[in-house]
Amino acid sequence: MGDLIYFSSATGNTARFVARLGLPAMRLPMRADGPMPSPVRPYALICPTYADGQGRGAVPKSVIRFLNDPARRGLLRGVIGTGNRNFGAMFGLSARVISEKCAVPVLYKFELAGTETDIDRVRAGLADFWGTECLTMA
């Protein structure tokens, strides 16, 4: 199983999701100048969306700074987007932006702090995904 890294702002929605998920996870700093974790294994990233009506600013600065490091970026295998469907086309946009920039799949999208269904799907999905990754790498 790979690692899990996430960003959660002061509203704490993503942090609450990760706590309920019950998997070990590293939190990115809220501010881009905070201390960054240094993953040593492949990981999936959970990232909220902060886009305006035109899609600008979707990815938090802290996540951008984290991914700007080639060593850290090189271990990213997939991204889970979060947001709110009320933002229409911008729902979970940050996952799509990261997916395109880093050539990794969008694994899943959920709203706010996620539902029980989201927890089950992400738990099962990550287990399957890392299983597949191991087979691919062998």
Q: Using the 8-state DSSP alphabet, how is residue 109 labeled?
A: E
Judged by CB under 8 A, which stretch of 21-29, 33-41, 51-59 contacts another protein?
51-59
DSSP codes joined into one string, 39-99: --S-EEEEE-----TTSTT-S-HHHHHHHTSHHHHHTEEEEEEEE-GGGGGGTTHHHHHHH
Q: In angstroms, what is the minimal distance from the CB of 4 to another protein?
A: 14
C-alpha dihedral sign at 131, 118, 21, 99: positive
Which one-letter amino acid corresponds to residue 63?
V
Binding residues among 75-104 for another protein as defined by CB under 8 A = 78, 84-93, 95-97, 99-101, 103-104
Q: Is 133 helix (H, G, I), strand (E, B) or coil?
A: helix
Q: Which of 33, 53, 136, 138 binds another protein (CB under 8 A)?
A: 53
Q: Binding string, 5-44, against another protein, x = CB under 8 A?
A: ----xxxxx--x-------------xx-------------
**121 is a site residue for another protein (CB under 8 A):** yes
Q: Which two tokens stand for residue 50?
A: 């902060």
Q: What does the binding site for another protein look like in residue numbers (CB under 8 A)? A: 9-13, 16, 30-31, 50, 52-59, 61, 64, 67-68, 70, 73, 78, 84-93, 95-97, 99-101, 103-109, 111-113, 115-117, 121-122, 124-125, 128-129
